[in-house]
Every structure is written in structure tokens, then in C-alpha cells.
Amino acid sequence: MRNTIVFIGIIGFIICLLLMYATDLGERGLRKYDADFKLLDMRFHYTTADVSEAFEKLGEGGRKAYQNYWILDFVFIVCFLLVMLTITDKIAVSGWAIYILIALAIARAGFDIVENSLFLYLSKIYPAHNDSLATICSWTTTCKFISLYVWILGVVVMSLFPIIRRNFIQ
């Protein structure tokens, strides 16, 4: 059962990435509505004006396409979480480290879910604005990336730990 979940996570992760970056379901399709479009959720931080400008430039059809992108992104979040947990399970060398890495992976997924939910809401109420929610959304995106970067750092450290232990700690 565990291998099946890992397999589904990895295959789902790859399929989602392909759909999001190589088909019209993702950024490529959104650029049909705005040639200079850049995904808001792939920026480390952005302003409320960036959110409004993106929604304005995309127009009604582009906002609908972006909403469909976020639905696909929810599937990606689950698959990416499974991949992160699989990597964590394979490289963690101590009990406390595995719990920290698991918490970081879950936090990244949680922030991504909140981010997508806020984006969906903000895009549906547009042209009305909720600058407070847009600000929260931006900070949620930033927290998502911080969680991811700290998780990656932890993975690198845990991957190097056996080498360090063997060569420097005896």
C-alpha cells in the first residue's frame, strides 16, 4: 500500500508539472490572455496591486482559466506533499529531524492550500477588491516558500550527515 501511495504521488507530481507548464492548462494558456503574465503563486512576495493588475490584465476569460489552474494546483499540492514525505522518509537520520521535515512539508502544503483558496476567492469577487486578503495571500505565499526552502536545507543537511559523521565525527 505504501509503495502505491508513493507511486501515485510521484506520477501525479510529474503529470501535474507537465500539465501546468507544458499545456494550456497552466502558465502557457494564461499567457494567451496576457502575454507578460507570471504566476502569482510562483513569486516569493507580491503586492495587492500585483494581484489586481494580474486579474485586470487576464480579463474574465483569463481569470476563469486561472481558477482552473488553481484547481489543478490543489492536486499538485497533494502529490508534492507525498513526494516531500517520501524524500523525508528516505533521508532522515534521526527521530527529531524527521518530525521537523514532516512538519515543514505539511506547513508548505497548508500554506499552499490557503494561498490557492484566497486566490480563488479574490478572483471570483473581482472587480471588487479585498486588499487585506490579498496581503494575507502574499504573506502566505512567502511562508510557503520559506517552509519549502528550510525543508530543502534540512534534506541537504540530512543527506550529508552520514558523510560528515563518517569523516569527522567518530
Work out the pLDDT band at 170, boundaries 50, 70, 90.
low
Residue 108's closest CA among 41, 157, 20? 41
Residue pair 118/111 in contact (Cβ under 8 Å)? The answer is: no
Instruction: State pLDDT tens for residues 48-107.
Output: 999 999 999 999 999 999 999 999 999 999 999 999 999 999 887 778 889 999 999 999
Instruction: State pLDDT tens for residues 7-60.
Output: 999 999 999 999 999 999 999 999 999 999 999 999 999 999 999 999 999 999
In angstroms, the CA 145 to CA 44 distance is 7
**Average pLDDT over the chain, rounded to an integer:** 94
Tell me which DSSP letter residue 21 carries.
H
Share of the chain above pLDDT 70, in %: 99
153-159 mean pLDDT: 91
Find the distance separating the first CA and the last CA of the chain, reported in whole Å.
38
Cα 156–chain centre separation: 19
Residue by residue, DSSP assigns 38-78 as --GGGSS---HHHHHHHHHHHHHHHHHHHHHHHHHHHHHHH
Count CB-CB contacts under 10 A for residue 160: 11
In angstroms, the CA 70 to CA 119 distance is 8
Please give the pLDDT value at position 21.
92
Residue 162 has pLDDT above 90, yes or no: no
